Structure 1
Amino acid sequence: MVISVPATSANLGPGFDCLGLSLNFRNRFEIIPATKTSVQISGEGVGRLRADESNLFVKIFRETLREFGIGEEHFAFKFHNQIPISRGLGSSSAMIVGAISGAFLFAGKRLDKGAILNKALRYEHHPDNITPATFGGFTISMLEKNKVFYLKQTLPKTLKAVVVIPDRAMNTKYARSILPKRYSVEECVFNLSHSSFLSGIFWSGKWEFLKLASKDMMHQRQRMDTFPILKEVQKTALNHGALMSTLSGSGSSIFSLCYSDDAPQLHKVLSDRFRNFRVLALEFDNLGVLKQG
């Protein structure tokens, strides 16, 4: 059994903890019944992720199986990771959603994405990454009584993502700790209006307003102040064809959205300018978590 989960970019500027979208850049999790449990990791996370039963994927997979009344069985886990660790592209959410989905399928259940999403909330308390990882597309999520309510919009082929991935990680817990404990009414209204307008753009297709709508007053400045070159990456992207350019999640990656025809040039400019960073031009994903094979 192979489960495939896409990378995600969350917040998208003003949509703090509630807006996200899915990128066609996937982690593949292979689960094989075995006589002895083993964990094999290739790609991102080699030497960093635990390759034993304390691995996050393995723990969540087993916990979910126990909820379905399935005891301690042995598996060979093979993880083929493309999503970078601690770069704001949803690597943890991919593991969580992948583990729960794998347990559903092994238990003979259908891939009930609504149930999977709400189980994922136990391990990731903000739905902005786990929702697009589960459903794909552009998503708006909110929490009510420990349940995720969401809306999804399909992303068109006329758009593409260009992602700049620095050689430096950014710890999500630290990135949250440096944010203000209180915001002014002006700051709150600014983000409410911009995130609402940004969401409307993804439904209306008025892409020319993305640069304006993606401005933020809650988190990006504080986080990019700890890694100032990110401001230069964002500025360069906006000056060379990006319709919007934002910190991806809590960083350190910068996510830019552009028309598909402009992606090659934007990719070249960013690659030439920031040679120590990895730059990817990616299609958007509209499917979310999948069973492959």
Structure 2
Amino acid sequence: MLYIKVPASTSNLGPGFDSIGMAVNLYLELEVCENETWDIHHFGEAIADLENNENHYIRKYCKYFFEKFNLEARCFSIVMHSDIPLARGLGSSGSALIASLEIINYFYGLKLSKEEKVRLLSEIEGHPDNVAPSILGGVVVGYYNKKQHITKTLQVPVIEWPILVVIPNYELQTSVARDVLPNELAYSTAVEAGAIGNMLIASLYAKDYVTAGHMMQQDMYHEPYRKHLVPHYQFVRDAITGDCFAFLSGAGPSIFVVCSPDHFNENFRALNLLQNCEVKHIQVDVNGVISYEK
């Protein structure tokens, strides 16, 4: 039996659009063995409503890899547990994609390295910011060139301040959030947006989380166009105090908050007053995906 554990991820960290991501300690876990038919059992509120049919993410992605690697199709019995909420900007689809590749890699003896997994899955996703941190762990900066099929990633120092995530009780499909983005940015806007992202990375290396936090809140690529899709966005921004900084998780609607240790308790209490939202104190996952034979 194969055991797989895939961490959730948050992408962008504000201005790092499609290029910066962070793995966090919410997990998709699977126990997998070969079977005569597909048999998938779901545990955990996040995936309780999923059905075992041909549209199941794991089944679809396994079928994709059968064709990609020219493999004979097999069926699997899978027990899944997840506390990664669906369509909340926490990489639920990316975690399923990674888990599917782990299944194929193990049962077909492909012996793919983590770097090969990141490259392959970045080609599928079109960007590395979700899959790379969930595979490698920690905070990852990534670059993907579609025309030249080049993928580069670099792990940067993890954030050492406490982190909260505000998870609303409604979904936001990534396709909807992508549709509101502009087709073009003015040259001067693009230059400023790039400078903000550069300062974010420099601040993480310097462990200057006040500067990093200010950069996280200055995004010009996506948050100005998406925030109207997230009703609680402004409530969160207005609720936090002190050295505490908020940014959309991926396409939303979850919101991450990086908070000074000196102001953590007061902000945790303030955010828990939000209606129809769950507030979690989370940690950065530094290990990435793990899988082994039980």
* TM-score, length of structure 1 as denominator length: 0.91
**Cα distance change on mapping 1:147 and 1:56 into 2, 3 Å:** farther
1:66-101 CA distances to partner (integer Å, 9 max, x unpaired)?
Answer: 555642222101211111111101001111111112
1:140-184 CA distances to partner (integer Å, 9 max, x unpaired)?
Answer: 11113223201102426x433200011121111111111112211
Q: CA deviation at 1:65?
A: 4.6
Alignment partner of 1:129 is 2:130: yes
Q: Is the 8 A contact 1:155 1:285 kept in 2?
A: no
Letter matched to residue 231 of structure 1 = Q
Instruction: Supply the distance in 1 between the matched residues of 2:286 and 2:261 (Cα, whole angstroms).
Output: 16
Q: CA deviation at 1:111?
A: 5.3
**Cα distance change on mapping 1:31 and 1:192 into 2, 3 Å:** same
Instruction: Supply the distance in 1 between the matched residues of 2:17 and 2:68 (Cα, whole angstroms).
Output: 32
1:110-141 CA distances to partner (integer Å, 9 max, x unpaired)?
Answer: 45111111221243112111111111111111
Gaps of 5+ in 1: none
Instruction: Supply the distance in 2 between the matched residues of 1:13 and 1:26 (Cα, whole angstroms).
Output: 23
Q: Is the 8 A contact 2:123 2:149 kept in 1?
A: no
Letter matched to residue 213 of structure 2 = K
Instruction: Supply the distance in 2 between the matched residues of 1:147 and 1:40 (Cα, whole angstroms).
Output: 37
Gaps of 5+ in 2: none
Alignment size in residue pairs? 288
**Cα distance change on mapping 1:235 and 1:37 into 2, 3 Å:** same
Q: Which runs of 4+ in 1 moved over 6 A?
A: none
| Aligned Cα root-mean-square deviation (Å) | 2.0
Q: Which residue of 2 aligns with 1:249?
A: 250
**Cα distance change on mapping 1:139 and 1:269 into 2, 3 Å:** same
1:26-71 CA distances to partner (integer Å, 9 max, x unpaired)?
Answer: 1112211223221112221222x34223312122224335555642
Alignment partner of 1:152 is 2:152: no
Letter matched to residue 52 of structure 1 = N
Q: Specify the SS of the correspondent of 2:158.
A: coil
Q: Is the 8 A contact 2:248 2:255 kept in 1?
A: yes
Q: Is the 8 A contact 1:163 1:279 kept in 2?
A: yes
Q: Which residue of 1 aligns with 2:52?
A: 51
Instruction: Supply the distance in 2 between the matched residues of 1:153 and 1:231 (Cα, whole angstroms).
Output: 29
Q: CA deviation at 1:260?
A: 5.3
Alignment partner of 1:288 is 2:288: yes
How many percent identity over aligned positions?
26
Q: Which residue of 1 aligns with 2:65?
A: 64
* TM-score, length of structure 2 as denominator length: 0.90
Q: Is the 8 A contact 1:155 1:284 kept in 2?
A: yes
Letter matched to residue 287 of structure 2 = L
Letter matched to residue 103 of structure 2 = G
Map 1:2-81 to 2 at 5 A. 2-43=3-44, 44-47=46-49, 49-65=50-66, 67-68=68-69, 70-81=71-82
Letter matched to residue 284 of structure 1 = V
Map 1:146-225 to 2 at 5 A. 146-155=149-158, 158-214=160-216, 215-225=218-228
Q: Is the 8 A contact 1:154 1:286 kept in 2?
A: no
Map 1:80-95 to 2 at 5 A. 80-95=81-96
Q: Specify the SS of the correspondent of 1:200.
A: helix
Letter matched to residue 31 of structure 1 = V
1:264-284 CA distances to partner (integer Å, 9 max, x unpaired)?
Answer: 44322211x213201111011
Letter matched to residue 191 of structure 2 = V
**Cα distance change on mapping 1:61 and 1:262 into 2, 3 Å:** farther
Q: Is the 8 A contact 1:162 1:266 kept in 2?
A: no
Q: CA deviation at 1:193?
A: 0.5
**Cα distance change on mapping 1:69 and 1:178 into 2, 3 Å:** closer
Instruction: Supply the distance in 2 between the matched residues of 1:263 and 1:94 (Cα, whole angstroms).
Output: 29
